[in-house]
Homo-oligomer: A and B are copies of this chain.
Amino acid sequence: MLRTSIASITTKRTMITAHAVLYTQHGEPKDVLFTQKYEIDDDNLDSNSILVKTIASPINPSDINQIQGVYPSKPEKTLNYQTSEPAAPCGNEGLFKVIKIGSQVQNFQPGDWVIPSQVNFGTWRTHALGNSKDFIKISNKLTINQGATISVNPLTAYLMLTHYIKLNPQDWFIQNGGTSAVGKYAIQIGKLLGVNSISVIRDRPNLEEVKETLKTLGATKVITEEENNSKEFGSNIKQWVKETNGDIKLALNCVGGKSSSGIARKLGPNGLMLTYGGMSMQPVTIPTSLYIFKNFTSAGFWVTELLKNNKELKTKTLNQIIDWYEKGELKDAPSKDLEYDGNEELSKVYIEGIADKSGKQLVNYK
């Protein structure tokens, strides 16, 4: 017994103290999040283990909804973080660097950049211990922001444009929320795929400037919500589509309400609308005649569900995005950088980030 104790003390001295943001019950993040310190024995890694250190992880709206308990995909509560009661980890996207591997690990090396292969892995923490199934290796030629935010928005845009309908060079897609992160990825990816796009944006004082920005990204046409709702303006769109001898085959909806019926009406026969968000908080409202006489179909898109059991599709899609990033052909959506230097409480950094509504937040770990 004495020998064991001494051995255990010796081991303890070399352990890494990890910090993780957790919650044991749902609520507003500022009320329920706490920082848990727990130890990882990096000198005695299991043969299949991979130890990673966090480079950066973003705060996504769905991360917050998970903490609030209003998101259908939830991390499991466990005792893995050495808490006294079961606790759940926060964060779904993030970029890690491999710092140590077990003796049997193949295909991963210290220094590799990796991202979680699944959601609910917990990315708001300084370190993580996993195995080869938990991680996907990505190029470390990306920027930190590109790597840390690659799993949700670019994959959503790419898969909506490619997974359901084959768009040909003469074809079009139409989307609302053209200035959103996914909207900007869709514009760029549409251009890279060689198809035409119409992006609907809200009217604003600097409308022409924003239109130009989106056209520079690759938008074929940019219209306002007023134009989207106008019967008269519809004939302009018909003319654009006629000029390419194509059809508007796909609509991407992240707004709902009138905006969704507006883009749905622009579709040609047998068109598909994919709903991936509902920023207006209004339901998706579609005239009966579109369904019956234009064979319109309205479906949903949730990247989490689509990729849950399809690592092959996820890897293939990631590789396409990484390729475009490396070639400089695709621009990422910028984040506001927060910094965690190890001196303050980790949960506080995220709580401050959540309170800041000025843009998407990325916590960088020094």
Interface contact B300-A295, CB-CB below 8 Å: yes
Interface contact A291-B295, CB-CB below 8 Å: no
Closest B-chain residue to A293, C-beta based?
B72
Chain A to chain B contacts (Cβ below 8 Å), 22 pairs: A256-B288, A261-B283, A275-B292, A277-B288, A278-B287, A278-B289, A283-B288, A284-B288, A285-B285, A286-B286, A291-B298, A292-B301, A292-B302, A293-B300, A293-B302, A294-B300, A295-B299, A295-B302, A295-B305, A296-B300, A297-B298, A298-B298
CB 8 Å contact bits of A257-283 with B (1 = contact, 0 = none): 000010000000000000111100001
Q: State the CA gap A331–B286 with chains docked (Å).
A: 34
Closest B-chain residue to A302, C-beta based?
B292
Q: Which of A276, A283, A293, A297 has the most CB of B within 10 A?
A: A283
Least CB distance from A304 to B in Å reads: 9
Q: State the CA gap A284–B286 with chains docked (Å).
A: 5
Least CB distance from A7 to B in Å reads: 50
Q: Which residues of B contact A292 (CB under 8 A)?
A: 275-278, 300-302
Q: Does A237 contact B (CB under 8 A)?
A: no
Interface contact B278-A298, CB-CB below 8 Å: no
Interface contact A275-B300, CB-CB below 8 Å: no
Cross-interface CB contact of A284 among B277, B291, B299, cutoff 8 Å: B291
Q: Which residues of B contact A288 (CB under 8 A)?
A: 256, 275, 277-278, 283-284
Interface contact A291-B285, CB-CB below 8 Å: no
Q: State the CA gap A275–B288 with chains docked (Å).
A: 7
Closest B-chain residue to A282, C-beta based?
B288
Q: Which residues of B contact A349 (CB under 8 A)?
A: none
Q: Does A99 contact B (CB under 8 A)?
A: no
Copies in the complex: 2
Closest B-chain residue to A297, C-beta based?
B299
Q: Does A217 contact B (CB under 8 A)?
A: no
Q: Does A40 contact B (CB under 8 A)?
A: no
Q: Does A290 contact B (CB under 8 A)?
A: yes
Q: Which of A256, A276, A283, A288 has the most CB of B within 10 A?
A: A288
Cross-interface CB contact of A275 among B256, B261, B283, B291, cutoff 8 Å: B291
Q: Which residues of B contact A276 (CB under 8 A)?
A: 292
Q: Which of A286, A287, A289, A292 has the most CB of B within 10 A?
A: A292
Interface contact A287-B283, CB-CB below 8 Å: yes
Q: Which of A285, A286, A291, A294 has the most CB of B within 10 A?
A: A291
Least CB distance from A92 to B in Å reads: 15
Least CB distance from A123 to B in Å reads: 21
Cross-interface CB contact of A298 among B286, B293, B295, cutoff 8 Å: B286
Q: Which residues of B contact A256 (CB under 8 A)?
A: 288
Q: Which residues of B contact A287 (CB under 8 A)?
A: 278, 283-284
Known A283-B285, A284-B285, A284-B286; judge A300-B305 contact (CB<8 A).
no
Closest B-chain residue to A72, C-beta based?
B293
CB 8 Å contact bits of A176-219 with B (1 = contact, 0 = none): 00000000000000000000000000000000000000000000
Q: Which residues of B contact A293 (CB under 8 A)?
A: 72, 300, 302, 305
The 9 closest A-B pairs by CB, nearest first: A291-B300, A278-B288, A275-B291, A298-B298, A72-B293, A297-B299, A292-B300, A292-B302, A283-B285
Q: State the CA gap A277–B288 with chains docked (Å).
A: 7
Q: Which residues of B contact A275 (CB under 8 A)?
A: 288, 291-292
